[in-house]
Amino acid sequence: MKQCVQCGGKKFVATQVPVSRLLAGATFTAQVAGRRCAACGAQYAGQAALEEFDRRVARAVAAAGVATGEALRFMRKVVGVSAKEFADLLGVTPETLSRWEHGRRGMDPTALRILRAATLDECEGRTTTLDELRATQATTRLGKRVAFGKIVA
């Protein structure tokens, strides 16, 4: 950001900005790195800090096993997977995933466990769960003959 959205000022001072998110009936709060306009005092949270805040919220929701549609959609977005891709990875239609995320239908327990694992992976900087799901989609055909060569046990 080169200038303040409020006043057009161009001088900023590093500060901590309060942020909050209401999700699954809980209010999550934190102070995140940001900037304050020296002219008018408007505060702006930094993008990286907001992304880390969202990862921490997602981690708490995943660890608690929250299964509301809103929480499901939030975790999926934090993991960085589109609705279409996630539906494909789970082997469900995009309409089914939409029903889960909008609370019109309860989520399949196995799909919830997969999303929770993918969310916790994301929070730890891994992609293990999504990598495994993607690998299972990429099936290959075996040839008529599969030779291993010499095996020594």
When pLDDT is cut at 50, 70 and 90, the band that residue 142 belongs to is confident
- Give whole-number Cα distances, 135 to 100, 112, 127, in Å: 24, 19, 12
Helices (H), 7-137: 47-64, 69-79, 83-90, 94-101, 109-123, 128-137
Quick check: is 91 in a domain? yes
Quick check: is 144 in a domain? no
Quick check: is 28 in a domain? yes
CATH number at residue 112: 1.10.260.40
Quick check: is 125 in a domain? yes
Quick check: is 118 in a domain? yes
Quick check: is 7 in a domain? no
What percent of the chain has pLDDT above 70? 100
139 pLDDT exceeds 80?
no
Quick check: is 6 in a domain? no
- Please say whether the beta carbons of 78 and 54 come within 8 A: yes
Distance of CA 144 to the CA centre of its chain: 42
- Please say whether the beta carbons of 21 and 13 come within 8 A: no
Q: Which residues form the domain of 109?
A: 12-135
Question: Residue type for 66, please?
Answer: V
61 pLDDT exceeds 90?
yes
Quick check: is 140 in a domain? no
Q: How many domains does the chain have?
A: 1
Model's pTM, two decimal places?
0.83
- Please say whether the beta carbons of 27 and 16 come within 8 A: no
